[in-house]
């Protein structure tokens, strides 16, 4: 995400520079003429005045809200669970998160089973790898039933919470039926890693032209807002 982040930062910096330094200079010309300005020009001038007058408050507010979010997310369990649940419901992003979490769980569980750890104990240890609270809570409930002698796949189906991917549930059930949980989950882990890598490459490939289009659109709106009244003045002089 480094490249998109750099492009986005450049876009914000370029827009801020135009609104804070270039637009106010041109505004002086419009004030001297006293002509009626187009709506788009009024909008850009109003945005420029707001940013130049309150930029310190905007920056401070942004960092205060960011800091407050991080502290609340780290300290408030209820807020943490709400955010984690919402993340899993976001299209594409939710799939990427679940692939990553389930892939890591599958890899750790298969590794411990290959090392000779008992199945119930391995599930108890592997569930600690979840960073997402929604998935961790689901597997914690299921692991209790595993200790009672139930299969993990059945326990996950009976536990209320996040709806897991169908292919994970099918792979886990197949592994438990065939006593090949370690091998099947190891393959599942590799599959999810490859799937996430392919999706991320596709998303980043689509994000690059979108960011360039966004920069062009923002700059184009500012330039159009400044040129329209100048063009009108030129036409009036003729």
Q: Is the pLDDT of residue 170 over 70?
A: yes
Could you tell me the two tokens for 177?
């039926």
State the pLDDT confidence band at 6, using cuts at 50, 70 and 90: confident
Q: Is the pLDDT of residue 33 over 70?
A: no
pLDDT of residue 55: 79
Q: Is the pLDDT of residue 32 over 90?
A: no
| Cα–Cα dist 118/104, whole Å | 19
pLDDT of residue 49: 81
Q: Which tens digit of pLDDT belongs to each residue from 181-204?
A: 999 999 999 999 999 999 888 888
| pTM score above 0.85 | no
**Where are the domains positioned within the chain?**
10-75+198-237, 82-91+103-179
- Cα 187–chain centre separation: 27
Between 27 and 139, residue with greater pLDDT: 139
pLDDT of residue 188: 93
**Long-range contacts formed by 107-114: CB under 8 A, 24+ apart:** 107/185, 107/186, 107/189, 109/181, 109/182, 109/185, 110/181, 110/182, 110/183, 110/185, 110/186, 110/189, 111/186, 113/181, 113/182, 113/185, 114/182
Average predicted confidence (pLDDT) for the chain: 84
Between 214 and 153, residue with greater pLDDT: 153
Q: Which tens digit of pLDDT belongs to each residue from 201-221?
A: 888 888 878 888 888 888 888
State the pLDDT confidence band at 164, using cuts at 50, 70 and 90: confident
Do 106 and 188 touch, CB atoms closer than 8 A? yes
Angle between helices 23-33 and 39-75 (to 10 degrees): 150
**Percent of the chain whose pLDDT exceeds 70:** 92
Q: Which tens digit of pLDDT belongs to each residue from 69-112?
A: 999 988 888 888 899 889 888 888 889 999 999 999 999 999 99
């Amino acid at each position: 995400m480094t490249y998109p982040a750099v492009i986005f930062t450049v876009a914000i910096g370029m827009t801020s520079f135009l609104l804070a330094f270039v637009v106010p200079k041109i505004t002086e010309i419009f004030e001297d003429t006293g002509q009626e300005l187009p709506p788009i020009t009024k909008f850009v001038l109003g945005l420029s005045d707001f940013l130049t007058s309150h930029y310190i408050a905007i920056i401070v507010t942004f960092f205060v809200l960011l800091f407050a979010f991080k502290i609340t997310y780290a300290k408030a369990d209820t807020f943490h669970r709400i955010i984690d649940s919402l993340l899993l419901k976001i299209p594409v992003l939710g799939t990427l998160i679940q692939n990553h979490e389930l892939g890591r769980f599958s890899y750790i569980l298969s590794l411990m089973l290959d090392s000779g750890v008992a199945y119930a104990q391995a599930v108890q240890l592997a569930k600690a790898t979840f960073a997402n609270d929604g998935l961790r809570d689901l597997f914690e409930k299921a692991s209790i039933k595993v200790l009672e002698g139930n299969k993990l796949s059945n326990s996950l189906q009976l536990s209320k919470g996040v709806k897991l991917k169908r292919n994970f549930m099918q792979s886990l059930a197949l592994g438990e039926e065939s006593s090949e949980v370690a091998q099947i989950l190891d393959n599942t882990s590799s599959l999810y890693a490859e799937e996430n890598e392919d999706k991320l490459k596709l998303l980043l490939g689509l994000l690059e032209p979108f960011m360039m289009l966004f920069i062009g659109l923002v700059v184009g709106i500012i330039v159009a807002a400044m040129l329209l009244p100048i063009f009108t003045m030129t036409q009036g002089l003729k």
